[in-house]
């Protein structure tokens, strides 16, 4: 089909517009649900102190030219001292961020909750759209695709060309 495809007004009125509205509403709903599910974190004293240490060290680096060399050296030793410097991390103890993520139970729970809140609405929306809106053409891709994409993009329609998108793939874009 080399000629231009024209979108039927019926499709446009009854499919595209309601679907766009539904997608936007689902996005808003997801935001509020995630806000409700987020647990309030009790600030950990160690984390607060670490944050403040970093700010102070950053100030030291930024304003190093404004204080006398002796006091700068004294502060640098305070931060980077081998035995008890605040920023000094002994070689064995430095954990990479991933190990820390899994060992901290709170953070693991938070990550799981976030992932779930993403996956479940996606699956539901996909199933719903597939049920209601299937079997007609919605968009045309400007570049040609191989036959392998046919099963992925064109569920339920038999077309000779693969550059036409049926309805539900269009919605996947919104998710």
Quote the tokens at residue 174.
């919104």
Which of 92, 128, 100, 119 is closest to 44 using CA atoms?
100
Contact between 97 and other proteins by CB under 8 A: the answer reads: no
Q: Which of 68, 96, 151, 160 binds other proteins (CB under 8 A)?
A: 68
Stretch that binds other proteins, among 24-32, 51-59, 116-124, 143-151 (CB under 8 A): 51-59
Do the Cβ atoms of 168 and 155 come closer than 8 Å?
yes
Length of the chain: 175
Of the residues 2, 40, 43, 147, which one makes contact with other proteins according to CB under 8 A: 43
Q: Which helix (H) or strand (E) holds 166?
A: strand 164-166
Q: Does 49 bind other proteins (CB under 8 A)?
A: yes
**Size of the residue set binding other proteins (CB under 8 A):** 18
- Provide, rounded to whole angstroms, the least separation between the CB of residue 42 and other proteins: 9
By the 8 A CB rule, do 162 and 154 touch? yes
Min CB(153)–other proteins separation in Å: 51
* DSSP assigned state of 148: T
71 belongs to the binding site for other proteins (CB under 8 A) = yes
Residue 41 binding other proteins, by CB under 8 A = no
Q: Is 62 in the site for other proteins (CB under 8 A)?
A: yes
Using rule CB under 8 A, residue 55 touches other proteins: yes
Of positions 34, 59, 81, 115, contacts other proteins by CB under 8 A: 59
Query: Which residue lies nearer to other proteins by CB, 63 or 135?
Result: 63
Query: Among the candidate windows 29-37, 59-67, 132-140, 153-161, which touches other proteins by CB under 8 A?
Result: 59-67
Contact residues: other proteins, CB under 8 A? 43, 45, 48-49, 51-53, 55-56, 59-60, 62-64, 66-68, 71
């Amino acid at each position: 089909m080399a000629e231009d495809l024209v979108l039927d007004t019926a499709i446009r009125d009854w499919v595209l517009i309601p679907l766009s509205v539904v997608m936007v509403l689902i996005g808003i709903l997801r935001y509020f649900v995630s806000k409700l599910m987020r647990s309030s974190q009790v600030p950990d004293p160690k984390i607060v102190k670490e944050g403040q240490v970093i700010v102070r060290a950053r100030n030291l680096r930024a304003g190093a030219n404004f204080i006398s060399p002796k006091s700068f050296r004294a502060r640098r030793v305070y931060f980077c001292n081998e035995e008890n410097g605040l920023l000094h991390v002994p070689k064995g103890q430095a954990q990479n961020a991933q190990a820390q993520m899994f060992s901290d139970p709170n953070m693991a729970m938070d990550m799981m909750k976030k992932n779930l809140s993403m996956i479940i609405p996606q699956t539901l929306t996909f199933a719903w759209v597939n049920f209601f809106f299937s079997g007609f053409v919605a968009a045309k891709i400007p570049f040609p695709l191989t036959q392998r994409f046919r099963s992925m993009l064109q569920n339920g329609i038999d077309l000779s060309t693969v550059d036409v998108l049926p309805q539900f793939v269009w919605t996947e874009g919104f998710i």
